[in-house]
Amino acid sequence: MVNTATTEQRHTVEVNLGPQHPSTHGVLRLLVELDGEIIVSCRPVIGYLHRGLEKMFEKRSYKQTIPFTDRMDYCASLNGNLAICQAIERLGGLQAPERAQYIRVLLCELNRIASHLVFLATYATDIGATTVFLYAFREREKCLDLMECMTGARLTYNYVRPGGIPQDLPDGFENGLNCFLDDLLKALEENDRLLTGNRIFRGRLEGVGVVSPEMAAAYGASGPVARGSGLNYDVRKTAPYEVYDRLEFDVPVYHTGDCMARYLVRIEEMRQSARIIRQCLKDMPAGEIMCKMPKIFKPPIGQAFSRTESPRGELSFYMVSDGTPNPARVHGRTPSFVHLGMLPAMLPGVKIADVIAILGSLDTVLGEVDR
Amino acid sequence: MTSGILRSRRPIRAAEVGLGISITVAIIAIASAIPHLPWQLLKPLTSFVARYPLLNALANAAMVANFVALQCLGFIWLERKFAGWMQARVGPMHVGWKGLLQTVADAVKLLLKEDIVPTDADKPLFALAPYLVFVPSLLTFMVLPFTSAWVGYDLPLGALFVLSISTTSILGVFAAGWGSNNKYSLLGGVRAIAQLLSYDVPLILVMLSVVMLSGTMSLTGIVTQQEKLWNIAAHPLLMIPAFLIFLICTLAEVNRAPFDLPEAESELVSGFHTEYSGMRFAFFFLAEFANNFFSAGLAVTLFFGGWLGAGLPAAVWFTLKTLCVIFLMMWIRWTLPRLRIDQMMSFCWKVLVPASMALICAAAIAGVSH
């Protein structure tokens, strides 16, 4: 496919998919070269959502950095909160109480479900099954209701704090959560009957956008993209944080590496998250939810690195302290950015409809890509 | 604790069932009343019109056009309601009773919109395209027999007329895709041509098999020939597969899911009519729904005995049967994902065309043995 001839010599058409395209899920621009319906080359153009977050981190105190992480991966902002709080805790040598850790895990898994439901909804719409969108969002609505009565917000939670969490679970939360999980499992079963087994759906996804395990490893893929390619890699298992080492759950791994595998990984992950949440509710000890924190938090000079498993993959923060109340440097390693980099290698040779299927299966969030 | 969390899924309310029944009753009532209206009062007018062939033709055309526009209003509302119910929501509710006038409001909005022609668009083509699409779908209604008397023009070669006229709308689709000066529109137009042309082949073959069994090409003739038994019951082994192929082909012909590739929203923004706004867009929309109604009506004519039925007036039977087929099409649309272009083409040429060829052979054998 590599050809140095110009567009005119090859009789191809250049099409801009985005930044205002209904299926790029945010302001992503794909510069696609088409030969009829077939992609010759693709160049993702990013930066439309760049806000200079990493610089803004440096001008705020440690606690004030948390709301910014809400605006990175806005589909799963609690996972972002947790990632940066872990980095801060490691800098300052803090340890969240056990109850807080359980609640954090519980909320992060709830957020993972919400995020994967968004994936399911938008992905089905991308493939053309519009009704699934509303079924998935109906479940997500219940999930967001729960998050709202816990954190007071529906999307940008700003909830996790260095050293714990600000508030304990509200009354009746457990009951509502159990109801939601029952509904969710039912809805997932319903979805399997409606969508997963559908021949058209399978025909659109199977064998499309295949990522080999070698390629996934070479590009640094993580999360469902890596696990769909047969790499058994989940930070919650390989480098457990919080209380994940005490919880029982499976990491779904599929070996085909196509869009269907990535879809199936996410669907199965929702079931596993439900399992984790039930265990958290059962095992959660009573006690403190916040450790002692100084009014003005000044961690000693040093650096820290946190690794967490966000719904999209491995979300890490690197943080350097110079002993002042503000961090000297913060860098986020965001999975969407890494996965987007795989597109130019995945797209040549596929049909234009597959671009949407492949892009959707990577489940990128542009807030996280651009920062 | 918000109550929303604990709410389980909403059961179908008695009110909704009531709504459905009342709509059906209303349709039946209106249609039954029509023959009993004091039509004789119009006698002077009709006899005056009948004296001048041109005037007569114009009056007929106006009636067909009005019918198409009015049925579209109802159809769009119905589609929105069905979609709503299937997607666990209520659909339009605010304009008029149960949102009945929502479509009217939308039509008014479209009329008031600015008429935008993109720079460097091929202006004559761009302006002409919506009408090139709309007029053929209007023309097909001319031969559709609502009852033995309610036919715009009972052509002896009705089936042939329908096929040839409906195919010409491809021209308009491509004119829109080409004239818009937009790459998405062009892609949509190219897809539309490939799709419509390929799916016309099995459609024609299936219609031919019905024609062969009936021995006539006139649509009213095909219906009256089913007096004893509907085609689908008279030759079930032949006609049930024929109906299925016909249904699939019409889904493709009217660009509905799973064959909505020419206007695939998630890929091509809006396909060949991406650049259209205002009334021109409305004409595309109108044509689509008119086509849809017509295809359902044609299916009823070919397979389900058209207006034939006991008890109720003929027009009511026809409308009810057509609504059933339309409901089937809506059900499919709101359930299935979209095919990819190569899958769609290979399905047509590798499955539908051979199957319909086999049907033709079977129909020939059945015709001989009769």
DSSP line for B115-181: ----TT--HHHHHHHHHHHHHHHHHHGGG--SSSS--S---TTHHHHHHHHHHTHHHHHHHHHHHTT
How many structural domains comprise chain B?
A: 1
Tell me what the mean pLDDT of segment B362-369 comes to: 78
Contact list, B88 vs chain A (CB under 8 Å):
134-135, 138
pLDDT at A2: 45
Is A35 among the domain residues? yes
Q: What is the mean pLDDT of residues B86-94?
A: 84
Beta partners for A320?
A: A303, A329
Cis peptide before B258 (omega within 30 of 0): yes
- Residue A116: the pLDDT is 92
Q: How far apart are CA B368 and CA A233, in angstroms?
A: 68
What is the reported pLDDT for B284?
A: 84
Question: Which of B28, B86, B81 is CA-nearest to residue B332?
Answer: B86
B272 pLDDT above the threshold of 80: no
Nearest to A198 among B184, B261, B336 (CB): B336
Question: Is residue B264 within 8 angstroms of chain A, CB to CB?
Answer: yes
Average pLDDT for B272-286 = 81
**How far is A290 from chain B, CA to nearest CA, in Å?**
24
Which residues of chain A neighbour B260 with C-beta distances below 8 Å? 128
Q: Computed from CA positions of residues B191, B192, B194, B199, in that sequence, does the dihedral angle turn out positive or negative?
A: positive
Q: So what's the ipTM on this one?
A: 0.77
Query: Would residue B201 count as lying in a domain?
Result: yes
| Residue B270 domain flag | yes
Q: What is the pLDDT of residue A115?
A: 92
Question: Using CB atoms and an 8 Å cut-off, which of residues 23-42 of chain A contact chain B?
Answer: 23, 34, 37
What single letter denotes the amino acid at residue A349?
G
Pick the residue of B7, B181, B336 with the most A CBs within 10 A to test the interface with A by mutation.
Answer: B336
Closest chain A residue to the Cα of B334, Cα to Cα: A131
Chain B interface mutation, best of A123, A135, A200, highest count of B Cβ atoms under 10 Å: A200
Q: Does B86 touch chain A (CB under 8 A)?
A: yes
pLDDT, mean of residues B89-115: 83
Q: What is the mean pLDDT of chain B?
A: 81
Check residue B339 and report its DSSP letter: P
Which chain A residue's Cα is nearest to B83? A131
Flag whether B46 is in a domain. Answer: no
Asked, for residue A178, whether it belongs to a domain, the answer is yes
How far from each other are the two terminal CA atoms of chain B, in whole angstroms? Answer: 72
What pLDDT is stored for residue B92 in this prediction? Answer: 85
Report if residue B40 sits inside a domain.
no
* Per-residue model confidence (pLDDT) at position B270: 67
pLDDT exceeds 70 at position B290: yes
In angstroms, rounded to a whole number, what is the distance separating the alpha carbons of residues A164 and A81?
11
pLDDT value of residue A264: 92
Across the interface, do B337 and A194 touch by the CB < 8 Å criterion?
no
Banded pLDDT at B2 (limits 50, 70, 90)? very low
Residue ranges making up the domain that contains B316 = 120-369
**Is B257's Cβ below 8 Å from some Cβ in A?**
yes
- Which tops the pLDDT comparison, B62 or A77? A77
B24 pLDDT tier (thresholds 50, 70, 90): confident
A336 inside domain: yes
Q: What's the confidence (pLDDT) of residue B6? A: 42
pLDDT in tens, B204-219: 889 888 888 888 888 8
Q: Is residue B23 part of a domain?
A: no
- Answer whether residue A184 shows pLDDT above 70: yes
Tokens read off for B273: 């009519």
Phi-psi region of A169 (alpha: psi -120 to 50; beta: other; left: phi over 0): beta
Q: Could you report the per-residue pLDDT of A203-261, keeping only the tens digit for each?
A: 888 888 888 899 999 998 898 999 999 888 888 888 888 888 888 888 899 988 889 99
Distance from CA of A129 to the nearest CA of B (A): 4
Contact call for B338 and A200, based on CB within 8 A: yes
Least confident of A38-47, A98-107, B39-48: B39-48
- A54 at interface of B, judged by CB pairs closer than 8 A: no
Structure tokens at A286: 């009573």
Asked whether residue B273 carries a pLDDT value surpassing 80, the answer given is no
Q: How confident is the model at residue B175 (pLDDT cuts 50, 70, 90)?
A: confident
In this complex, do A145 and B4 lie within 8 Å of one another by their Cβ atoms?
yes
- Do the chains contact at A22 and B269, CB–CB below 8 Å? yes
The highest-confidence range among A350-354, B200-204, B313-317, by mean pLDDT, is B200-204
Higher pLDDT, B331 or B13: B331
User: In this model, does residue A10 exceed pLDDT 70?
Assistant: no
Q: Which of A5-9, A244-248, B13-17, B333-337 shows the lowest per-residue confidence on average (mean pLDDT)?
A: A5-9
Burial class of residue B97 (count of CB atoms within 10 Å of its CB; 0-12, 13-18, 19+): exposed
Position A335 in a domain = yes
| Distance spanning both ends of chain A, measured CA to CA | 33
Q: How confident is the model at residue A118 (pLDDT cuts 50, 70, 90)?
A: very high
CATH of the domain at A362: 1.10.645.10
Number of domains comprising chain A:
1
When pLDDT is cut at 50, 70 and 90, the band that residue B268 belongs to is: low
For residue A355, the chain B residue with the least C-alpha distance is: B267
The pLDDT of residue A265 is above 90 = yes
* Count of CB atoms situated within 10 Å of the CB of A63: 15
Residue A274 lies in a domain: yes
Q: Looking at the partner chain, which of B8, B89, B187 has a beta carbon nearest the beta carbon of A183? A: B8
pLDDT for B22 beyond 70: yes
Chain B residues with beta carbon closer than 8 angstroms to that of A196? none
Is A1 contained in some domain?
A: no
d(CA B292, CA B137): 9
Q: Is residue A2 part of a domain?
A: no
Residues in Cβ contact with B16 at an 8 Å cutoff, skipping those fewer than 6 apart: B85
pLDDT for the residue numbered A22: 66
Residue A23 — pLDDT band, cuts 50, 70, 90? low
What's the domain range around A19? Answer: 7-370
Query: What is the average pLDDT score of chain A?
Result: 86
Flag whether B104 is in a domain. no
Q: Is residue A237 part of a domain?
A: yes
More confident call, A288 vs A105: A105
B263 close to A (CB below 8 A)? no
